[in-house]
Amino acid sequence: MGPEPEVSERGNGGLGTLKEDSDGTIPGRMEAFNGLAEGSYFSDILQAKCGHYGDLPASKISELMKLGSLENTSTQSLFTVTNMILDECVEGKNENIPQRVASILKLVMQEIQDRVSKQAQNMRKQSTLYKSREERYQSKIRALETLATGTTEENEVVMNQLRQMKYSFSGPSDVIFLRQIEKTKIEEVLKLEQHDLTIFRQEKDRCESLILSLEEEIRLTKQDYEEKCFQLEARAEETKDKLLKKILELECLLTDSRNKVKELEDFSESKILRWKRKEHGYRHFIDSQFESLQDLRLASESIKQEVSKIKNVYAEEFYHFGVNMKGLIDAAQNYHSVLEENRKLYNEVQDLKGNIRVYCRIRPFLPGQSRKQTTIQYIGENGELVVINPLKPGKDSHRLFKFNKVFGPASTQEEVFRDTQPLIRSVLDGYNVCIFAYGQTGSGKTYTMTGPNATSVVDWGSTIEL
């Protein structure tokens, strides 16, 4: 019996080939999970790790979706692409990719689901194939056993017939010769049948060993399939959770981006409106300034005419002013002589009044002081002042003082200045004049000289007089 033919099962997901040799081994077991071919078109994108998936143009993404090149890409590569895109989106390396990412993620997730379903379907096909092969081998074994049993029974029947013929025939030698020839043929047939029986038994042993190896392979394959299905389900669930979480994050980022875009649009519109208002204001201002400029030009022309007219009038008036100035110069020469004589007479009057003058100013009561405590009894118009001393009895309690003038509590700064004004004018005539105040602390010296403010009537009045 020759070797069994190869059995090949390959789905769209790129599962490997199961090949059975004559000794019953399966070297290509479960290559579907590790031997997925990488598509040349999608591998170019995977190799571009230095860039960002968000930088892919929309045309390249649409071409990728139309060609369906993800079908030739390994599952591990699809998981790598998904994780890299989501990590890049969550880290905020590129704020412009959320709308592009949705199409890529949808395509990748659909491809992963198709890949898992195809792998499960192929595993079911392989399990069915193993079962059918096992049933076929079992039927062959039963047929061989039946054939071997029938051959043994036939040999026993032939041997019984030979023994009966041996005891029943005792004829001439030619009959014996014929019987020997038949016996020889029967023995040869028996040898051939025994040889075939040996071959059948060897084939049975080989089939039994092949069945055992196939059963072991099926058990290992089933165990490996279950483990990898469990791993794929766990990874798919984990990836699904991650994708859902990252999709939520991307939706939040997309919402924030849309809000920012809306805010920027509103800000741009308000800014444009402000600039339009400013432009309208500037245009209105320029128009008004242009009108003012026209008015200024007209006013300038009228001013030029007025200046020309004034020049003529000025020349005429200047001539009259020169004539009048000549008369004033003659009058001034006579005025200086009169002024000198007047000054001389003024100073003589001051000498007659006395070069030393003493004035007395009585300070009014401060707030809170009683008016009954006053020591002033009489203030005369010619400088007399009577003071009472309550500690001395009789005539000694009254004392009379004589000054050039006495200023009462109601006197103002202007009244004080009017009596000192003639002395201030003597400074211009070259006389040395000194005005000072003396008295006890709190008697009002500073108030009399400077007044309640920084510049009193005495201060700025003296300055004006000078």
354: left (phi over 0), alpha (psi -120 to 50) or beta: left
H-helix or E-strand containing 26? none
Give the dihedral of Cα atoms 97, 100, 102, 108; nearest 10 deg.
-110
Residues contacting 375, CB < 8 A, separation 6+: 387, 388, 389, 390
Residue 151 labeled ligand binder: no
Residue type, 378: Y
Q: How far apart are CA 381 and CA 385, in angstroms?
A: 9
Residue 242 labeled ligand binder: no
Asked whether the CA dihedral 164, 166, 170, 174 is positive or negative, the reply is: positive
Residue 444 labeled ligand binder: yes
Say which residue the tokens 């592009």 belong to: 100
Say which residue the tokens 């792998």 belong to: 119
Contact 100, 58 (CB under 8 A): yes
* CA R_g for the chain: 69
Residue 76 labeled ligand binder: no
Report strand pairing: 376-379 vs 384-388.
Answer: antiparallel
Q: Which long-range contacts (CB under 8 A, 24 or more apart) does 339-348 make?
A: 343/429, 346/422, 346/425, 346/429, 347/426, 347/429, 347/431
Residue 442 labeled ligand binder: yes
Angle at which helices 40-47 and 75-91 cross, to 10° = 40
Distances in whole angstroms, Cα of residue 99 to Cα of each of 37, 225, 244, 253, 425: 29, 38, 16, 11, 99
Q: Collapsing DSSP states into helix, strand and coil, what is residue 378? A: strand
CA 387 from chain center: how many Å? 91
Contact 158, 186 (CB under 8 A): yes
Residue 443 labeled ligand binder: yes
Residue 440 labeled ligand binder: yes
Residue 446 labeled ligand binder: yes
Q: Which residues line the annotated binding site? A: 439-446
As annotated, the binding site for ATP includes 439-446
